[in-house]
Amino acid sequence: MQYSPIGVDKWDVDTPALCIDLPALDRNIARMASFLGDGPTRVRPHSKTHKCPTIAWKQLEAGAIGITCAKLGEAEAMASAGIKDILIANQVIGSTKIRRLIGLAADTRIMVAVEAAENARELSEAAVASGRTLRTLIEVDTGMGRCGVLPGEETIALARLMSSLPGLQLEGIMGYEGHAVMVPDGDARRATAHASMALLIQTRDDLLADGIPVPIVSAGGSGTYNITGRYPGVTEIQAGSYATMDARYATIIPEFEHALTLVAQVISVRGDKAVIDAGLKALTPEFGKQPVIQPTGWTMEKQSEEHSTLSRQDGPALKPGDKVELIPSHGCTTINLYDAYHVLDGGRVVALWPIAGRGKLQ
């Protein structure tokens, strides 16, 4: 007999179960939409966190101007769900991936980040051969030191080239102040983000002075949404984790609610130690921060592949068969381990939402 969790109480679901609280999710989406309103900066939510077309559609219905993806496979999953305006905030390199990208351009307004002249020429050749036009953004390194062309002359040179290449439509620039989003001190986070945005906006001004239009200036993450989202000249932010939240982000943007939790079962108890059925294959341990555990008074001691050991501090006694609820320290990588969300409303499962972008790493 096939198990169905629909209608089941949260504490009776089969475990481990990745859960999303529907009212909290809706409130988080509404909060971001309300913060930005109809102002000059809009949200293009990053789906690399939730990886779920149903959640992406909720964000679009709340006013998002499009969806951001990290990988081509995620973009394909979103496009298959009918989402038409997609930014791949990453470089798409090599003939195999470029063919897939051009295929998406047939029926979506796909847009891709570029940082190198050779890649721009390859994209141009593929677009011309297909008879399509490919939307592009130049990625600018604003201080994170990962991807992106340097501000100033390097960006201007690349923009001149891309503006001249057939088959490419240069829409503007993007930069990610990822080195700022997790800075604990609010003033230091603001200063770091402002320094990055100053570089990005100066680059925009340089391009405009060179006669190159820059309709899009894209940046930002959840940790800097209220900084970058108010910085003059930024047209869109790519925040993602705000919708689901996790234990690490709660220390940075506590105004958003925990919609994402993991329900696990106690399978063994020995003294003040309890072992649950959610190990590294069910819950990822990033950021050096433990998951938040309910009931309180228990901490995560260690993890192995299939088990996690909890240590009792001053919490209630647990016994085999009891359920615990955990808020992951990092939602993005934990979500990527699951095929579907158990959607909760009033403490009961009301739906299963496929995580269609799960594992779409190519």
Contact predicate 344/315, CB 8 Å: no
The pLDDT score that the predictor gives to residue 323 is 98
Q: Does the pLDDT of residue 288 top 80, yes or no?
A: no
For the domain bounded by 40-244, which CATH number is listed?
A: 3.20.20.10
Domain boundaries, the chain: 10-17+255-354, 40-244
Q: Measure the CA–CA gap between 60 and 121, rounded to whole angstroms.
A: 32
Please choose, from the candidates 104, 172, 95, 89, the residue with its C-alpha nearest in 3D space to the C-alpha of residue 134.
104
Instruction: Give domain 10-17+255-354's CATH superfamily.
Output: D-serine dehydratase-like domain (2.40.37.20)
Q: What is the pLDDT of residue 290?
A: 87
Supply the mean pLDDT for the chain: 97
| CA proximity to 315, closest of 295, 288, 338 | 295
Residues 6+ positions from 350 with CB-CB distance below 8 Å: 6, 7, 22, 343, 344
pLDDT band at 1 (very low <50, low <70, confident <90, very high): low
Closest C-alpha among 32, 37, 82 to residue 59: 32
Contacts of 290 (CB under 8 A, 6+ apart): 247, 299, 300, 329
Please write the tens of the pLDDT for every residue from 97-138. Answer: 999 999 999 999 999 999 999 999 999 999 999 999 999 999
Q: How confident is the model at residue 38 (pLDDT cuts 50, 70, 90)?
A: confident
The dihedrals phi and psi of 77, each to the nearest 5 degrees, come to: -65, -40
Are the C-beta atoms of residues 216 and 140 closer than 8 Å to each other?
A: no
pLDDT at 287: 81
Q: Give the model confidence (pLDDT) of 225-267 as tens digits.
A: 999 999 999 999 999 999 999 999 999 999 999 999 999 999 9
pTM greater than 0.95 (yes/no): yes
